Amino acid sequence: MHKCFIFVLLFPLLLRGENYFGKALYLDGQCDFVQLLAPVIYDAPFTVEAWAYLYGPGGGVYAQNPIFEQRSLETVMHASAILLNAQNGEGFTAWTIRDYEHYLNRAKAPQPPHLEWHHFAGVVTPEKLTLYIDGQPVDSTINEQTGPYHLDYDHVTIGRHAYLDVVAGYLNGFIDDLRIWNHARSAQEIREE
């Protein structure tokens, strides 16, 4: 199978703090996010990775700092979701995959300090989920999800986690170099970022 990017985040027109943060996307933690028009992840394996700089807790009901979410949603109990959360509002970073039956697999680790750039990566194979922070694997768990993740999708967002009428979080800070791959990147490939 040919390995490739399936999505690359570039925001030449949405700049803020350019002198220090280059061309990173600034999100205010209150209502800013990016909505994509179609799913980008179809099935395992895949990798989601990005650099993030957080000012503190995010916005929304649970003060989360979500980097990426792709969600299929008819009801909360019959939804699939892929969520990379730099801070979930409870003091940890989470890489979560949920299938249509609402069974959840989650790799998690203590969140790194705010006011610093950190690299987050979530890798999914048919067998396991692995969360990396700053190039180091920090947690993994089995993957019991079956996919596919693109059917009857509800939304794909950068910087927001939402379900039904609940916004669980808005990212409060910067996101840079968000990449989504259609293969499981190796630990060495992630460390080289």
| 11-60: pLDDT as tens digits | 433 433 344 567 889 999 999 999 998 899 988 899 999 999 999 999 99
DSSP string, 26-74: EEESSS--EEESS----SSSEEEEEEEEE-SS-BTTTTBEEEEEEEEES
- pLDDT per residue over 98-150, tens digit each? 765 556 788 999 999 999 999 999 999 999 999 999 999 999 999 887 667 77
Render 154-191 in DSSP notation, one character per residue: EEEEESEEEETTEEEEE-EEEEEEEEEESS---HHHHH
CATH number of the structural domain spanning residue 81: 2.60.120.200
Can you read off the two tokens belonging to residue 33? Answer: 């996010």
**Which of residues 9 and 22 earns the better pLDDT score?**
22
> pLDDT band for position 165 (50/70/90)?
confident
Q: Which of 108, 107, 89 is nearest to 168 (CA)?
A: 89
pLDDT of residue 33: 94
Phi and psi for 12 in degrees, rounded to 5? -65, -20
pTM: 0.86
Provide the domain limits for residue 154.
Answer: 5-191
Domains of the chain: total: 1
The structure tokens 């799913």 sit at 39
Residue 74 has a pLDDT of: 59
**Once rounded to an integer, what is the mean pLDDT over residues 147-162?**
84
